[in-house]
Amino acid sequence: MDTKQSLDSLAIFGAAPAFTELLHVGRPNIGDRARFTERMNDILDSKWLTNGGPYVQQFERRIADLTQVKHCIAMCNATVALEILIRALECSGEVIVPSFTFVATANALQWQGITPVFCDLDPRTHTLDPKRVEQLITPQTTGIMGVHLWGHACDVEALTEIAGRRGLKLIFDSAHAFGCSYQGRMIGTFGDAEVFSFHATKLINSLEGGAVVTNDDELARKIRLMHNFGFTSFDQTSYIGINGKMNEVSAAMGLTNLESLDDFITVNRRNYELYARELAGLEGIALLPYPQVSKWHYQYVVLDIDESKTIVTRDELIDILHRENVLARRYFYPGCHRMEPYRSSFPDAGLRLPETERLANRVLCLPTGTAVGERQIKFISRILKLVLQDRVEIKRRLSAKRRDVG
């Protein structure tokens, strides 16, 4: 690893990259390998591989206990879990969602012929702004789908009040929020139901995986049937269903990783606090604060880049970091409304999404998790400090470089 003391030591100006291996955002947290192998062998010995086997049942109980919710139905991924939940709640017409989210949130609706109506955000939490939600309700609206982005809870009280008063279903895409709480209650207990993701990149992964969690007995029963083709017995179905089941290997991975949940959060917190110390005082770079009143997993290191102060743009910063083999990400650029099919269907959506548009151009996510340590964080921070220290000169050199290429 180069020490990166001067501008000439930056890879973007021809020096060797800081890291020989790529540093990713979203490297999986992996628990006790021996425990996982033991479970794998048990699965192979038992020859029970899927369809609600013992590991899936254990995983569901564990998630329900940790979330303090009555029902958990484990699924093959969160996207399918959202789709099944939306169908089970009989949503139709329009559902109000944020645009500043992973595209799966909107796709889960659109895939079923429901129009996602994109709503703007509260810039402090990056979640739905309830006042704007209310303005978007039409006679076609059947639901609201909030996203607890980065594990920051939506304004749950306001959304619950609106949904109740207007007779709408309330769903939370909690793909980022397993292990987080809001006002003393675990995320997973709000609205009609919530959906977690256990994808490889999440705090807890089951390789691929997701789950619907709810306190509603009837809804849980319906979802459980629907995620297994609708079967009520060997040869009868009561609903149209699909295959949304989690398999035993995924559940074994999920259970193994849950045993290290506290360790993962401890590492994340240590990383987050180190970034906070290292980046403190850097003009134009602000670390998204963690929610003070809640339990949080510190899973995301999200920077807000104010280009009027950094001079070097967010995208130039990304480019500089990528050249150093730090694969910083601009989640969730450009916003769903600027991706197909939404861009063509709602070409003017950006006009009513000023906060979304602003954030999509400011956010930069840095690597964290168990694959990242003190040395890497100090180094990434040093690169950012070096860039900001000489921002005007860097800008000049980047512009000159572009002119040369052009």
The contact set with ligand T4K (CB under 6 A) reads: 24-28, 77-79, 101-102, 104-105, 147, 173, 175-176, 197, 199-201, 210, 327, 331
Sign of the CA dihedral running 358, 362, 366, 368: negative
Longest dimension (CA), the chain: 72
Nearer to ligand T4K, 206 or 310 (CB): 206
Least CB distance to ligand T4K at residue 366 (A): 12
Which residues, including other chains, have CB under 8 Å from residue 95's CB and lie 6 or more apart?
86, 109, 114, 115, 116, 117, 141, 142, 143, 144, 145, 169, 171
Nearer to ligand T4K, 170 or 394 (CB): 170
Nearer to ligand T4K, 148 or 224 (CB): 148
Q: How far apart are CA 306 and CA 121, in angstroms?
A: 18
In this structure, are residues 146 and 159 in contact, taking their beta carbons and an 8 Å threshold?
A: yes
Least CB distance to ligand T4K at residue 105 (A): 5
Least CB distance to ligand T4K at residue 59 (A): 15
Least CB distance to ligand T4K at residue 106 (A): 9
Least CB distance to ligand T4K at residue 232 (A): 27
Order of strands, sheet of 71-75, starting from the edge strand that comes earlier in the sequence: 71-75, 210-214, 193-197, 169-173, 141-147, 94-98, 115-119
Letter for the amino acid at 153? A
Nearer to ligand T4K, 169 or 199 (CB): 199
Least CB distance to ligand T4K at residue 190 (A): 16
Nearer to ligand T4K, 60 or 173 (CB): 173
Nearer to ligand T4K, 10 or 82 (CB): 82
Nearer to ligand T4K, 197 or 310 (CB): 197
Q: How far apart are CA 361 and CA 355, in angstroms?
A: 10
Least CB distance to ligand T4K at residue 44 (A): 22
Strand, coil or helix: what is 234? coil
In sequence order, what are the beta bridge partners of 94? 115, 141
Which residues, including other chains, have CB under 8 Å from residue 190's CB and lie 6 or more apart?
156, 160, 170, 172, 182
Least CB distance to ligand T4K at residue 108 (A): 8
Extract the tokens encoding 71: 């029902």
Q: How far apart are CA 48 and CA 38, in angstroms?
A: 15
Least CB distance to ligand T4K at residue 254 (A): 12
| HSE-up (13 A, CA, CB side) for residue 361 | 12
- Give the residue closest to ligand T4K by C-beta: 26
Nearer to ligand T4K, 115 or 197 (CB): 197
Measured from the Cβ of residue 95, the count of other Cβ atoms closer than 10 Å reads 26
The separation between CA 229 and the C-alpha centre of its own chain, rounded to angstroms, equals 28
Nearer to ligand T4K, 197 or 260 (CB): 197
In this structure, are residues 280 and 358 in contact, taking their beta carbons and an 8 Å threshold?
A: no
